[in-house]
Amino acid sequence: MKAVLVAAVLAASVPEPSGYWTGPNQGDTPDTVAGATVIHTALLAKLIRRERPVLIDVSPAPPPPPELPAGTVWMAPPHRDIPGSVWLQEAGKGDLPPEAEDFYRATLERLTHGSKAHAVVLYCHPKCWLSWNAAKRAVSFGYQQVYWYPDGIEGWQGAGKPVAAAEALQPG
C-alpha cells in the first residue's frame, strides 16, 4: 500500500525537462507542458466541435515486420486515431533532424492557414513522451493555443469516442 502511494507521488512529480525528452518514448510524463494547455477527453470533444482545431497524432511508426517463419500471414494492422487527425510519425522525436522539424513546421503552417492563433492539439498514446515533445515544439514555433492531450488514442477510444483508420503523412 505504502509502495503504491510512493509510486503515485513519484509519478505525479515528473518534472518538465529543460529541452526535449530523448529517453524511452513510453513512461511517466509531466503533468504540464510550459506554454501549452493540458486537455482531457470531454473538453477535447467540445473543442473539436466548437473550434475545429488542427489534430496532430504523433504516434511513432509501427515496428517493421519481424523475422517470422515462411508462410506466416502478416497483415499490417490499421492505425486508428481521432477522426480528422493528421498522423506525423516523426514530429515528437526528442532528437529531431532539421528537415523533419521543417516538415512539421510547414505542415502546421499549412493546416492552420498560417494563423498562429489557430488551436493545435497534440497526442499519441497514454504515457507517451512524443506528444509532450511535439506540444513543446509547437509552442516554440509560436502557436498561441497549443493543447496537449496526454490520454492519447486509447484514452479517447476508451471513453467511447470514435476512431478512424489513418495513413501517415510523410515528407515529399
Partner 1 sequence: MKAAVLLSVILLSASAARAVELPDDQADRMKRWKDLSQQVFGDKKLENGAKFIAIDAPDRAMDAALVPVGVKISGKTGVKALYLLVDDNPVPLAAHFTFGPAADPKEMKIRIRLEQYTYIHAVVEGGDGKLYQAARFVKAAGGCSAPAGPQDEALKGLGQMKLQTMATYIPGKTMEVQLHIRHPNFNGMQMDQVTRYYTPARFINEAEVSYDGQQVFHFEGGISMSSDPAITFGFKPKEKGELTVVAQDSKETVFEHVFPIPQTEAVTQ
Q: For binding to partner 1 (CB under 8 A), which residues are involved?
A: 24, 26, 62-69, 72-78, 80, 125, 153-154, 157-158, 160, 162-165
Q: How far is the CB of 146 from partner 1 (least distance, A)?
A: 26
- The CA distance from 113 to 130, in Å, is 24
End-to-end alpha carbon distance in the chain: 53
The grid cell for 171 is 515528407
Task: Rank residues 35 and 60 by Cβ distance to partner 1 and give the closer one.
Answer: 60
- The CA distance from 26 to 66, in Å, is 21
CB environment 62-91: b (16+ within 10 A), e (fewer) = eeeeeeeeeeeeeeeeebbbbeebbbbbbb
Q: How far is the CB of 118 from partner 1 (least distance, A)?
A: 27
Q: How far is the CB of 89 from partner 1 (least distance, A)?
A: 15
Write a three-state SS string for 106-162.
HHHHHHCCCCCCCCEEEECCCCEHHHHHHHHHHHHCCCCCEEECCCHHHHHHHCCCC
Task: Rank residues 63 and 114 by Cβ distance to partner 1 and give the closer one.
Answer: 63
Task: Rank residues 27 and 142 by Cβ distance to partner 1 and give the closer one.
Answer: 27
Q: How far is the CB of 41 from partner 1 (least distance, A)?
A: 15
Q: How far is the CB of 80 from partner 1 (least distance, A)?
A: 7
The grid cell for 129 is 513522451
Task: Rank residues 64 and 172 by Cβ distance to partner 1 and give the closer one.
Answer: 64
Task: Rank residues 97 and 142 by Cβ distance to partner 1 and give the closer one.
Answer: 97
